[in-house]
Structure 1
Amino acid sequence: MSPTSAIAPPARFTVSGDVLRPACLAVADLCALPLRRAQVSFECATSGVRHHRFEGPLLYDVLHTAGPSFDPARRKDRLRFLIAVTGGDGHHTVLSWAEIDPDFGNAPVLLATRIDDTPLDPHGPQLVVPQDRCGARHISGVTSLRVDGRYVSPGS
Structure 2
Amino acid sequence: MPVTAPVPAPQPQLAGFLLSGDLARPAPLTVRDLRAWPQHEARVSFECATSGTQHHRFEGPLLHEVLCAAGPAFDPARRKDRLRFLIVVTGADGHHALLSWGEIDPDFGRAAVLLATRIDGTPLDGSGPQLVLPQDRCGARHISGITGIRVDGGYAGAAAA
Same fold judged by TM-score > 0.5?
yes
> Is 1:15 the equivalent of 2:12?
no
Structure 1 runs of 4+ aligned residues shifted over 3 Å read: 5-8, 72-75
1:44 is displaced (CA, Å) by 1.5
Q: 2:126 aligns with which of 122, 125, 137?
A: 122
Structure 1 residue 2, shift from structure 2 partner: 9.1
Please say which structure displays the higher CA radius of gyration. Answer: 2
Match of 1:35, as an amino acid? Answer: Q
Secondary structure of 2:98's counterpart equals: strand
- Confirm whether residue 104 of structure 1 aligns to residue 108 of structure 2: yes
SS at match of 1:85: strand
| Aligned pair partner of 2:49 in 45, 49, 54 | 45
Count the aligned residue pairs. 155
Is the 2:84–2:158 Cα contact (8 Å) retained in structure 1?
no
Segments of 5+ residues of structure 1 without an aligned counterpart are: none
Q: Distance in 2 between matches of 1:44 and 1:64?
A: 31
Supply the RMSD in Å over aligned alpha carbons: 1.9
Q: What is the 5 A alignment of 1:55-74?
A: 55-74=59-78
**Which 10-residue stretch deviates more, 31-40 or 5-14?**
5-14
Asked if 1:86 is matched to 2:90, the reply is: yes
Which among 138, 141, 152 is matched to residue 142 of structure 2? 138
Report SS of the residue matched to 1:89: coil
For 2:34, the equivalent position in structure 1 comes to: 30
Matched residue SS, 1:55: strand
Shift in CA distance, 155/59, structure 1 to aligned 2, threshold 3 Å: closer
Please report how far the alpha carbon of residue 45 of structure 1 lies from its aligned counterpart in structure 2 after TM superposition: 2.3
Tell me which amino acid in the other structure corresponds to 2:154. R
TM-score, normalized by length of structure 2?
0.90
| Offset of residue 48 of structure 1 | 1.4
Distance 1:155 1:37 in 2: 38
Cα deviation, residue 95, structure 1: 0.2
Normalising to structure 1: TM-score of the pair? 0.93
SS of the aligned residue for 1:136 comes to: helix
For residues 22 and 36 of structure 1, what CA distance do their matches in structure 2 show?
Answer: 23
**Which residue pairs with 1:151 in the alignment?**
155
